[in-house]
Amino acid sequence: MRKISALVCLVVALGMAETPSSATGRIAFVNDEFQIVAIDADGQNMVQLTDNDGGNYDPVWSPDGRRIAFFSFSNQDGDLEIFVMDADGGNQTQLTFNDNEDQEPVWSPDGRRIAFISNYWCPGSENRDDWDWDISVVDADGENLSQLTNNTANDDDPSWSPDGRRIAFLSDRNGGLDNIFVMDADGRNVTQLTDYPHSIDEELAWSPDGSRIAFISSRDMFLSEIFVMDADGSNQTQLTNNGAAVRQLAWSPDGSHIAFQLPFNDDFEIFLIDSDGQNQRRLTDMGGFLGGSKPVWSPDGNSIVFASCCDGDNELYVIDVDGNNLTKLTDNEGFDSDPAWCPVE
277 and 285 in contact (C-beta within 8 Å)?
Answer: no
For residues 322-330, give the mean pLDDT: 91
301 and 310 in contact (C-beta within 8 Å)?
Answer: no
Over residues 303-316, the pLDDT tens digits come to 999 988 766 677 89
The pLDDT value given to residue 122: 57
Over residues 279-306, the pLDDT tens digits come to 999 998 876 666 677 899 999 999 999 9
Which contiguous run of DSSP H or E holds residue 6?
Answer: helix 6-16
Q: What is the rounded CA–CA span in Å between residue 345 and residue 323?
A: 22
For residues 131-144, give the mean pLDDT: 93
Within 8 A by CB and 6+ apart from 230, the residues are: 211, 212, 213
128 and 121 in contact (C-beta within 8 Å)?
Answer: yes
Over residues 177-218, the pLDDT tens digits come to 899 999 999 999 999 999 987 788 999 999 999 999 999 998
Say how many C-beta atoms besides its own lie within 10 A of residue 143's C-beta. Answer: 9
Write down the mean pLDDT value for the chain.
87
Share of the chain above pLDDT 90, in %: 62
Over residues 5-33, the pLDDT tens digits come to 333 343 334 434 445 667 889 999 999 88
The pLDDT value given to residue 220: 65
Q: Is 17 helix (H, G, I), strand (E, B) or coil?
A: coil
Q: What is the rounded CA–CA span in Å between residue 117 and residue 177?
A: 18
The pLDDT value given to residue 115: 98
